[in-house]
Amino acid sequence: MLAGRQAQLMDVISAAGQPGQHVALYGERGVGKTSFANVLAEVFNQIGVGGYRGVGVNCSTDDNFDSIWRNIFRELDEDIEYVAITPEDVRHAIESFGSPALIVIDELDRLEDESSLSLLADTIKTFSDHSVNSTLVVVGVARSIDELIGEHESIERALVQVEMPRMSRGELREIIEKGCSYAELTALDLAIDKITKFSEGLPHYTHLLGLYAGQRAVMDDRTEIMVVDVDAAVDQAVAKHTIRSDYRRATRSTRTDTLYSQVLLACALAEKDALGFFPAGALRDPLEMITGKRYEIPAFAPHLKKFLEPGRGSVLRREGEPRSYFYRFANPLLQPYVILNGLSEKVISDETLASLEQRSTVHETSEPEPLF
């Protein structure tokens, strides 16, 4: 059922074939890192790449270096008992196994014990220095990988850094088509296009909208998902999503003349760079489409500042210097939700999205004006 991610899969397989090389898999939340990590262990077990055994464990806030490795040994069915586990203990234990292992350590960003992160870095280093023929794959958001390397720059050459970007619409389409095939359903191209557009590159929303749209078709005694099913799925996703409380916290106000909901929607619709950042000026066009009125930066700059504060959930993050700040959503899953909410409440329409997308395409393809 794996859709897309073939380049990332080949990067991991390639690293596994090189003694001393390990993998740091990173990306923003919601791009499918955990799903991919789960598939890795299955793939290596299924096709027997190099005789590997694939296992995976998840980090929790209560974990430490010792508990992580005890969980790994349990998954490997290796009865190893230590009073305390050190990186060298781990290396000797792994080298004693009869076959190599692909060991996936997921959700590294949840590991709060800093000494455990240092010990994990030391483990990668000793695995690499001694060319242990097992491969470690650590998975987390980019910041957690930076912290892992951090003061241990010597392990950087031992890590193949594999980025998990947002999925292309073609990859998201593959998710829907595989799911429909499994459920013995079909979907109109227009319905699939709508789901992939609304997903903003995040497979979480493709699965969610596909599920609700498929359920509606089946309840209507049909085997084909139509556009009306997707429209209904949008309303369901907005009403039932757990992130709804974050949206309400960010936009609530006792005054009816505030622009919090409109400015946050403009943030969601703003043209962004590859890392999801946008400047304040990028809000002008979408905000005009939402409100029917042209606003300049001083009119909505206070709203952006409020979105950085805990009182509104710190829904945005900011980088850069004064007068050249860049913003992005702290939780990437909130961005598509804000757009879906705008559609559900009829604040924006499909035509609004198409118009903004067309403008973005023009900006990408237009050549710079000559200086003279």
- What pLDDT, in 10s, does the model give residues 86-126? 889 888 888 887 778 888 898 888 888 888 888 888 899 99
> Where in the chain are the domains?
6-163, 169-240, 247-365
CATH topology of domain 169-240: Helicase, Ruva Protein; domain 3 (1.10.8)
Does pLDDT of 365 surpass 90? no
User: What is the tens place of the pLDDT at every residue in 216-264?
Assistant: 999 999 999 999 999 999 999 999 888 999 999 999 987 777 899 999 9
Q: What's the whole-number average pLDDT of the chain? A: 85
Query: Measuring CA to CA, how many Å separate 96 from each of 104, 205, 235, 309?
Result: 19, 44, 55, 52
Q: How confident is the model at residue 329 (pLDDT cuts 50, 70, 90)?
A: very high
Q: Which residues fall within 8 angstroms of residue 369, CB to CB, at 6 or more apart?
A: none
- Does the pLDDT of residue 369 top 50, yes or no? no
Question: Distance between CA atoms of 326 and 274, rounded to whole angstroms?
Answer: 13
Angle at alpha carbon of residue 224, lines to 218 and 226, rounded to 5°: 100
Q: How far apart are CA 347 and CA 133, in angstroms?
A: 56
Q: Which token pair is 170? A: 């073609």
CATH architecture observed for domain 247-365: Orthogonal Bundle (1.10)
| CA 314 – CA 12 distance, rounded (Å) | 35
pLDDT at residue 16 tops 80: no
Contact 77, 45 (CB under 8 A): no
Q: Report which of 35, 263, 16, 250 is spatially closest to residue 132, judged by C-alpha positions.
A: 16
CA dist., res. 126 & res. 48, Å (int): 25
Percent of the chain with pLDDT over 70: 89
Give the pLDDT confidence score for residue 48 in this predicted structure. Answer: 52
Which of the four pLDDT bands, split at 50, 70 and 90, describes residue 1?
A: low
Domain 6-163 carries which CATH code? Answer: 3.40.50.300
Instruction: State pTM to two decimals.
Output: 0.79
